[in-house]
Chain A
Amino acid sequence: MDLSLSTRSVGDRTVVEVGGEIDVYTAPKLREQLVELVNEGHYHLIVDMEGVDFLDSTGLGVLVGGLKRVRAHEGSLRLVCNQERILKIFRITGLTKVFPIHGSVDEAVAAND
């Protein structure tokens, strides 16, 4: 399965809905999307990963890259994920300490640092 991406605005947040597989082949598309959003001035991103079937370290690298970009503009990058197999990868790599991970888009939208 390929990667699907769609974006929408909720208040001052931009939600990026990701579906399919994020791996070494598809991750560049996600990277492009995040870079484009930041270049357009969207600094508060929510990446909804509920439709993601597979995530590897390349995908993690892209998310970390996105986080670095928004932080350079005092922004934020929050994740929405309830899938244990995906959450496990964040735990293994210690990235649960880096990303705020929420159970729903509503929760992520309402969250403040």
Chain B
Amino acid sequence: MATVELRFSALPAHVRTARLVAAAVARQAGVDESILDEVRLAVGEACSRAVGLHQRNGVSSPVRVKLVQQEKRFLIEVGDGVPTPATAHADSNAEEALSFAEANTSAKSGARTGGNGDQATDDTMGLAVISGLVDDLVIGHDEDGGLIRMSWPVADPADDDLP
């Protein structure tokens, strides 16, 4: 069972709430303070992506966030309700984002981009940020839709006893 489970309507305003909850639970679980910013950002990216997917696909079910305190890891799962079998690996998306960034270096035209293009760009950039931040990352799916699993180490309480 998840330590804390969160379900929220796919609205941008709730993503901040998810970030705050995730950071608070991670801190309580023993995730080092220096990593909390990364946890907050990664969860925010995963939730923003899920919100965007729900809105673009007209999915009314909530976005799912599970925060699980394990013995040595703190695990976060962010699930969307969009069945997408073609979930590319994060690294390839990071490469896409980088090529996108390079393409923009020389972009002199295209001042007005279409909404869908911007959304796809945000999505790609979001995955690039997550994959750049999180070492232990799996982008897959479960029976409800896409699922992003991320984990971080937690401080071992036994370490405190060492001289």
Partner of B133, one of A23, A67, A92, A98: A92
CB within 8 Å: A-B pair count: 89
Contacts of B105 in A (CB 8 A): 97-98
Contacts of A57 in B (CB 8 A): 45, 48, 122, 125-126, 128-129
Contacts of B112 in A (CB 8 A): 69
Report yes or no: B102 in contact with A97, Cβ–Cβ below 8 A.
yes
Report yes or no: B51 in contact with A89, Cβ–Cβ below 8 A.
no
Q: Mark A82-108, 1 if CB is under 8 A from B, else 0.
A: 000100010011110110000000000
Within 8 A of A (CB), among B30-56: 37, 40-41, 44-45, 48, 51-52
Q: Mark A56-75, 1 if CB is under 8 A from B, else 0.
A: 11101100110111011100
Partner of A89, one of B12, B41, B102, B107: B41
Let me know if B57 is at the binding interface, CB within 8 A: no
Let me know if B28 is at the binding interface, CB within 8 A: no
Contacts of A67 in B (CB 8 A): 104
Let me know if B16 is at the binding interface, CB within 8 A: yes
B interface majority secondary structure: helix
Report yes or no: B48 in contact with A85, Cβ–Cβ below 8 A.
no
Let me know if B154 is at the binding interface, CB within 8 A: no
Q: Kindly state the separation between the CA atoms of A19 and B132 in the bound complex, as whole angstroms.
A: 25
Contacts of A97 in B (CB 8 A): 101-102, 105
Let me know if B109 is at the binding interface, CB within 8 A: yes
Let me know if A24 is at the binding interface, CB within 8 A: yes
- Per the CB 8 Å criterion, the residue count for chain B at the interface is 35
Partner of B48, one of A58, A68, A95: A58
Let me know if B97 is at the binding interface, CB within 8 A: yes
Partner of B125, one of A23, A61, A68, A73: A61
Let me know if B161 is at the binding interface, CB within 8 A: no
What's the minimum C-beta distance from A19 to chain B, rounded to whole angstroms?
A: 15
Q: Kindly state the separation between the CA atoms of A15 and B91 in the bound complex, as whole angstroms.
A: 36
Complex A-B: 14 CB contacts under 8 Å: A23-B44, A57-B128, A58-B122, A60-B129, A61-B121, A61-B122, A61-B125, A68-B111, A68-B113, A89-B129, A93-B125, A97-B101, A97-B105, A98-B104
- Additional A-B contacts beyond A57-B122, A68-B113, A94-B98 (12; CB < 8 A): A25-B16, A56-B45, A56-B129, A65-B113, A68-B104, A68-B110, A72-B109, A72-B110, A89-B41, A92-B128, A93-B129, A98-B101
Chain A residues in contact with chain B, CB under 8 A? 21, 23-25, 54, 56-58, 60-61, 64-65, 67-69, 71-73, 85, 89, 92-95, 97-98
